[in-house]
Amino acid sequence: MTSSQLLLEGLELVLIGMGLVFIFLVLLIGCIRLMSLLLQRTTVQDSVPVLATATVACPLPDADTLAAIQAAVHQHRNRHA
C-alpha cells in the first residue's frame, strides 16, 4: 500500500468514527430530553406542596461562638487578602 492509500483509509476511519460518536451523542441527548419530559408530566400531577412542614426554628449561637466565628473569618481574610 502506498502512503496516499494509507492516509485515505485513515481519513475514512476518522470520519466514520466521528460520525458514529456524533450520532450516539445526538441519540443520547434525545433520550435524556424525552425522559425529562416524561418525568415532568408524571411528577407535576403527583406533586403536593410541602411548604408548611419545613419551618424549624434554629437556635442562635452564643456570644463565645459568634466571637470565635468572627475571629476565624478575620484570620482567613487576612491570610488570603
- Digitized pLDDT (tens) for each residue of the chain, 81 residues in all: 899 999 999 999 999 999 999 999 999 999 999 999 999 888 866 555 666 565 667 888 899 999 999 999 999 999 987
Domain assignment of residue 25, yes or no: yes
In a domain, 62, yes or no: no
| In contact, 32 and 24? CB cutoff 8 Å | no
Q: Is residue 11 part of a domain?
A: yes
Calpha distance 31→16 (Å, rounded): 22
Q: pTM of this prediction?
A: 0.49
Structural domain boundaries, residue 9: 1-45
> Residue 18's Cα: distance from chain center in Å?
25
Report the candidate in 39, 21, 42 with the shortest Cα–Cα distance to residue 31: 39
Q: Is 17 part of a structural domain of the chain?
A: yes
For residue 63, is it within any domain? no
Residue 35 located in a structural domain: yes
